[in-house]
Amino acid sequence: MFMAIGFPAHVVTGTNQCSIFFGGATSLLRYMRGGHIHWKTAWLTGPLAVLGAFLGARLNLIMPERMLEIIMIVLLPIVTLIILAKPSFGAENRVHTLTRARRIMSALFIGLGIGAYQGFYGAGSGTFFMLGFALLCRLDLTTASGNTKFVAFCANLASASTFALSGAVVWPAVVLATVFNVLGSYLGAGLAMKRGAKLIRPMFLLVLALLFARLIATVIL
């Protein structure tokens, strides 16, 4: 929407990062109250996501996004096939089967890797955090979603601060978008905790499909 109005690409990213901050906080509180966060993996990943988001945001300010868009066009179909090939994906929590070393390595990849993606590009980052927690940490989708809210909030705090300090934010647009973002986040978190994987899995695939379509349109146009 911001790009359609005519905002420059960097301003679009910065304004979007700031507008989703309070919505992310709303979702996080709902998951915390529902007990749907695995804190051992969340606390490991959060600080790394902050560092990754900071580095990604700085990278966004100095290099074109087209390179990452092309890489994502190649990766997204592969991610979708992995999910479709695993019918039991995110059905149950099996984090207890991981060793401590495996949890640390997973946190390193999820925090730095996906955190950097969130800071650099942003779109679909929550989906990729959830994928990382479900595949690498073997969490069920509801808990993976709760962990995602915590880590994404940490990463968003870092990236939003970076863009704000760089002046790449249109604050009137942030205020308006925040109102709807908070409302949507509150309702969405409630539905996800109530319906679990039955709702989250198809929504997960839908987000991947929409992100892929958006990237294709961006590259072609």
What does the pLDDT read at residue 35? 87
Q: Which stretches within the chain are classed as H helix?
A: 2-5, 9-19, 21-34, 39-60, 66-84, 100-108, 115-120, 125-135, 141-165, 171-195, 197-220
Q: Is the pLDDT of residue 5 over 60?
A: no
Which whole number is the average pLDDT over 111-131?
82
- What does the pLDDT look like over 149-201, one tens digit per residue? 898 788 777 777 877 777 777 777 777 777 888 787 777 777 778 776 677 77
The set of residues, in sequence order, having a beta carbon less than 8 Å from that of 58 and lying 6+ positions away, is 119, 162
Separation CA 101–CA 162 (nearest Å): 32
What residues have CB less than 8 Å from 117, skipping those under 6 apart?
Answer: 52, 56, 68, 125, 128
Rounded CA-CA distance 40/106 in Å is 12
